């Protein structure tokens, strides 16, 4: 017996049973009766035994009685798998895990997720946030499909697609001597107490590098940085998106000559195709950023 089964031939047999004969089955399947009969005969030859009695009544043989429940089960599993895969491709089901820098999670992702959930109610999203190094590591290990952050160093196993630039400025308390300025130059910061943070590495290859060597304070967590700044002591540098506008006692002051920016992009594993759900989230993110820039 040839164990290979053609699904269409199984459907022919079931149609004959369910529709009450060859003529009705052929009409239901939009096939000719000879084509239907030939397909069933080929299936019987493949199985090595008859499924239907030869009188053309559409009655099952004892072997057919054994086979029919199995045919229905096989076709049911096949059809469910096809539907599930179609749902994934057409964004009707699935789940995507994403990790972003905290500033991106706060500024853009609420709008992205709201759009996503309204348009694709069958899809699920897991959103994580962390510093750039954590973002890269989570993408690299496959914990998430993609990340949105800066990429501090070239990595052969990761791909980086820039989507926006974020200018660095000074942040200080509103009572700090720098707070009255509408914009600053880097040399205006010389002699002031600088609080370094995780994004301070952006200054390493710029004319502001000497500020880092003079700094005696490093704080990694934003909550602690804000608490320190609110005492009126010193300033820090942050990309604009990393500054929390809700901190009403603090000011963000643009720094020019030269402007220093961090580049934020989509980080993915090299050579790995994103799921349709992940592609949908990225498209919504690009749309949100474009609308924000236009506004």
The residue ranges of every structural domain in the chain are: 7-89, 163-262
Non-local (6+) Cβ contacts of 239 within 8 A are 103, 166, 167, 168, 169, 199, 202, 261, 262
At residue 3, the pLDDT reads 61
Q: What is the pLDDT of residues 54-103, one digit of tens each?
A: 866 678 999 999 999 999 988 888 887 777 676 666 666 678 899 999 99
State both tokens at 153. Answer: 């160093």
* Structure tokens given for 136: 């890269």
Query: What is the reported pLDDT for 123?
Result: 80
Residue 197: per-residue pLDDT: 94
Mind giving me the DSSP string for 141-180? HTSSSEEEE---S--TTEEEEEEEEEEEEEEEETTSGGGG
Is the pLDDT reported for residue 169 higher than 90?
yes
* Neighbour-count burial for 246-275, b at 16+ CB within 10 Å, e otherwise: ebeebbbbebeeeebebebbbbbbeeeebb
pLDDT at residue 245 is higher than 70? no
Give mean pLDDT, residues 250-278.
91
pLDDT at 53: 87
CA–CA separation, 287 vs 120, rounded Å? 16
* 101 touches 135 (CB < 8 A): yes
CATH of domain 163-262: 3.40.190.290
The pLDDT of residue 265 is 95
Q: What is the token pair recorded at 98?
A: 């994403």
pLDDT of 2 above 70: no
- Asked if residues 100 and 135 have their Cβ atoms less than 8 Å apart, the reply is yes
Residue 122 confidence (pLDDT) = 79
CATH topology of domain 7-89: Arc Repressor Mutant, subunit A (1.10.10)
Give residue-wise pLDDT tens across range 266-282.
999 999 988 888 888 89
Per-residue model confidence (pLDDT) at position 77: 85
């Amino acid at each position: 017996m040839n164990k290979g089964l053609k699904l269409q031939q199984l459907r022919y047999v079931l149609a004959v049973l369910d529709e009450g004969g060859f003529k009705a089955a052929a009409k239901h399947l939009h096939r000719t009766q000879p084509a239907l009969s030939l397909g069933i005969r080929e299936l019987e030859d493949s199985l090595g035994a008859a499924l239907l009695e030869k009188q053309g009544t559409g009655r099952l043989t004892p072997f057919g009685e054994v086979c029919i429940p199995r045919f229905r089960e096989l076709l049911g599993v096949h059809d469910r798998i096809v539907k599930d895969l179609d749902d994934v491709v057409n964004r009707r089901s699935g789940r995507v895990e994403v990790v972003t820098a905290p500033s991106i999670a706060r500024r853009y992702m609420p709008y992205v997720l709201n759009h996503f959930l309204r348009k694709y109610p069958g899809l699920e999203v897991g959103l994580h946030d962390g510093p750039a190094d954590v973002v890269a590591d989570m993408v690299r290990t496959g914990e998430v499909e993609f990340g949105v952050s800066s990429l501090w160093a070239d990595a052969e196993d990761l791909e980086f697609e820039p989507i926006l630039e974020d200018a660095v400025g000074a942040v200080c308390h509103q009572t700090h001597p720098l707070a009255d300025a509408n914009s600053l130059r880097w040399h205006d910061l010389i002699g002031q107490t600088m609080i370094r943070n995780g994004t301070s590495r952006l200054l390493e290859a710029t004319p502001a590098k000497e500020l880092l060597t003079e700094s005696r304070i490093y704080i990694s967590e934003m909550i602690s940085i804000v608490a320190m700044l609110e005492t009126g002591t010193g300033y820090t540098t942050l990309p604009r998106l990393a500054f929390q506008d809700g901190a009403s006692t603090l000011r963000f002051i643009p720094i020019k000559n030269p402007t220093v920016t961090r580049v934020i992009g989509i980080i993915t594993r090299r050579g790995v195709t994103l799921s349709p759900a992940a592609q949908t989230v990225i498209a919504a993110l690009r749309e949100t950023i474009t609308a924000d820039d236009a506004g």
